[in-house]
Structure 1
Amino acid sequence: MSKSGGSDVFIESLNALVNEDDMNAVLLAQKQMLERFEKTNEMLSKFNQLSVNQYETLATQFKGHTALLLDMRKDIDGIFRRIRILKTKLSTEYPDAFNVALENTEPEAKRIQQMSTSPRQDSPRMILDSNEPNDEDDMNPSSVLHSVPSIN
């Protein structure tokens, strides 16, 4: 018996074990899955590209907003510095009036300090309601000092 004769018989017996319809069904299923994976891969690539473009846009906006906030912080620091200078100037030029104004604003300043150190349990509406004037005396110009917190 020759070598080629035995291997041919073996291959023929393996081919007999495999149903050709089943093989075609497996090949068709693999082809469909490949097409589906290629479409999914294409969609993910498009999504990634859109995400990169959106990220670049938002990163630029974020940098601009951060710069704006830093600029606003500098402005506010300058304003508070000028207010401190004005307070110092007023306290030296008009010490009696300044002390009266401080005495009138101390309860309000303590309330504001207490609100900033305690956990917030009041709703914004409740705080706004508590700041409304109770009677007509609160509406006169001399009571305005009560609503201005002191800045130390």
Structure 2
Amino acid sequence: MDFNRSVSRPLSQLGSSFMENEDELQLMGWNLTPEDLTHIPEHWLSYPEVRSLYHYILAFAYTILFCLGVIGNGLVLWIFCVSKPLRTPSNLFVLNLALCDFSMVLVLPILIYDSIDHKYPGHLQCQIFALCGSISGIGAGATNAAIAYDRY
């Protein structure tokens, strides 16, 4: 791989929002090892690195979503476990939706780590993130469809 890539578009077309200083232009993937670069499509390596401020804003937003998701879904799970009258067949769908959302929220620390540290978390962590996200996302979608069918 060529680590001394040049930008495929002129700097004037990139816009100043991507760069902190034009003299310090770094392309995406500058901090990756050659082994990690094999997992990144070549297309994305031709764009400039996003400013650190945007990474920290994302980390802050992910942290808020993580806290709200853990508290909210945890409350739903706890209330369902301690309250016998809520244990109806229709409410089992809500419990399943809370479990799917809870499992989706539990992978947010990977995104927080990636945003703060600016490092590729590794191929295994990316595969785990994708697996958890797809299973919980498909489960939440199917549960929403079941809730809609049940209420119809």
State the TM-score, normalized to the length of structure 1: 0.31
Higher fraction of helix: 1
- Find the structure with the greater CA-based Rg: 1
TM-score normalised according to structure 2 size: 0.31
